[in-house]
Amino acid sequence: MRSTRTRLIIAAGLVATTAVALSACSSSSSTSTPAATAAAGAVDLAAAGCPATVVIQTDWNPEAEHGHLYQLLGPNPTVDANKKSVSGPLYASGAPTGVNVEIRSGGPAIGFQQVSTQMYTDPDIMLGYVTTDEAIQLSDKTPTTAVFAPLDKSPLMVMWDPATYPNAKTIADVVKSGAVVRYFGGSAYMDYLNATGIIPKAQADGSYDGTPASFIASGGKDAQQGFASAEPYIYQNEVSAWNKPVDYQLIHDTGYQPYQSAMAVRTGDLAKDSDCLKALVPVLQQAEVDYFADPAPVNTMILDLVTQFDTGWVYSQGVADYSVKTMKDIGLVGNGTDSTIGNFDDARISKFFDTVTPIFTGAGTTPKAGLTVKDIYTNEFIDTSIGLK
């Protein structure tokens, strides 16, 4: 299964915005992480049994959707441009916790392989971004259990030209008008859309390569996969050959509702890591609340990291600002059906599990024999008092 996370990597016509280097980020030549020697604050993760360095594997380059993670870093983090990672003492609400954190980029940094696969390749990784469909589909070889959901809805969407399809409100509307939908081949959500008839296989084109060239060449006739938290801004403001709005529908709104980029551990390590997770997961929840209360400092760091990592991917201040606003405006981040951030809705995830398991089996990627929905997630470490206001 190929990741749906891949985005515009090198796109002709994009206006590259060079971030001003942060004085708070150390030189890319630095490779060592300062020891977390400061006395722990109100949260002592060392005493809770967390490893000296909590290693977190993301699924893409640094971006605003990952802001909650970079919120964990205190002053003067260490950047390793070769490894596409940043590390330093792990902070909780401005106070050290007695351990370090290392945040590793995904996508091009790990050869575009799935995060769950990377977690089993490198046992130093404690937590990784694993979307619910990936957890189910790859459960036989690389089982993972999610413990925190930073996104309530997936940003994944299909977009189209509103001038070509002025009456379209949904993906189904565009498809009925004759559009072909271009997507990354192997994306699990397309199996669902095919199976439900929303996008017939004859109108699904798995040749999308992350650049805007084909979308532009179609003159608005074709629809295309993207992320609602990025591409609408990029195509209107940074793709010079387009420079006009796009409309879209979230895949979430078609009924395909995984938790995108949920933070997961290897299933076999859940019991071992339990004491640490009881203390750490509330820190992750609060970091997300703190990030959305004041995203600007972390976004400046993210822009600097993108520049230093230099993977060929373009990320601008405009995209970062748009992403934060859009995530809040359309509910990509939020408390879901209650007042708690980061927890999983039992009914929603059970319905998703029951829907996609037979689809994956039919597609030849059969989940682990005997897998149950409770194997892929848990709310036991969530602090129900923490939520966005």
Give the tens place of pLDDT for each residue, 89-98.
Answer: 999 999 999 9
CA distance 235 to 243: 6
Place of tokens 């109100």: 42
pLDDT for 371 beyond 90: yes
Q: What digits encode the pLDDT tens for the residues 250-264?
A: 999 999 999 999 999
CA distance 86 to 365: 34
Domain regions of the chain by residue span: 53-153+259-375, 156-254
Q: How confident is the model at residue 328 (pLDDT cuts 50, 70, 90)?
A: very high
CA 354 from centroid of its chain's CA atoms: 23
Do 53-153+259-375 and 156-254 have matching folds? yes
Q: Mean of the pLDDT values across residues 41-56?
A: 95
CA distance 114 to 131: 10
Q: Which one has a higher pLDDT value, 25 or 277?
A: 277
pLDDT for 289 beyond 60: yes
Q: How confident is the model at residue 311 (pLDDT cuts 50, 70, 90)?
A: very high
Angle at which helices 274-293 and 317-329 pack, to 10 degrees? 110
The dihedral region occupied by 256, where left means phi > 0, alpha psi between -120 and 50, and beta the remainder, is: beta
Q: How confident is the model at residue 365 (pLDDT cuts 50, 70, 90)?
A: confident
pLDDT for 367 beyond 80: yes
pLDDT for 273 beyond 80: yes
Q: What digits encode the pLDDT tens for the residues 141-157?
A: 999 999 999 999 999 99
Q: Mean of the pLDDT values across residues 169-196?
A: 95
Q: What is the pLDDT of residue 322?
A: 98
3-state secondary structure of 186: coil
Residue type present at position 64: A
pLDDT for 238 beyond 90: yes
Q: What digits encode the pLDDT tens for the residues 191-228?
A: 999 999 999 999 999 999 999 999 999 999 999 999 99
CA distance 223 to 175: 9
Q: Mean of the pLDDT values across residues 62-68?
A: 98
CATH class of 156-254: alpha beta
Nearest partner of 86 among 103, 99, 98, judged by Cα: 103
Q: How confident is the model at residue 3 (pLDDT cuts 50, 70, 90)?
A: very low
Q: How confident is the model at residue 41 (pLDDT cuts 50, 70, 90)?
A: confident
Q: Mean of the pLDDT values across residues 100-108?
A: 97
- The CATH fold assigned to 53-153+259-375 is D-Maltodextrin-Binding Protein; domain 2 (3.40.190)
Percent with pLDDT over 70 in the chain = 90
Q: β-pairing, 156-160 with 144-148?
A: unpaired
Residue type present at position 284: L
Q: What is the pLDDT of residue 40?
A: 60
CA distance 345 to 373: 12
Burial of 83 (0-12, 13-18, 19+ CB in 10 A): middle
Look up residue 102 and give its two tokens.
């290392």
Q: Mean of the pLDDT values across residues 318-345?
A: 97
CA distance 267 to 161: 43
Q: How confident is the model at residue 39 (pLDDT cuts 50, 70, 90)?
A: low
Percent with pLDDT over 90 in the chain = 86
Mean pLDDT, the chain, integer: 91
pTM: 0.91
The mean-pLDDT minimum among 20-24, 63-67, 94-98, 322-326 falls in: 20-24
Q: What is the pLDDT of residue 16?
A: 32
Q: Mean of the pLDDT values across residues 136-140?
A: 96
Look up residue 88 and give its two tokens.
């330093």
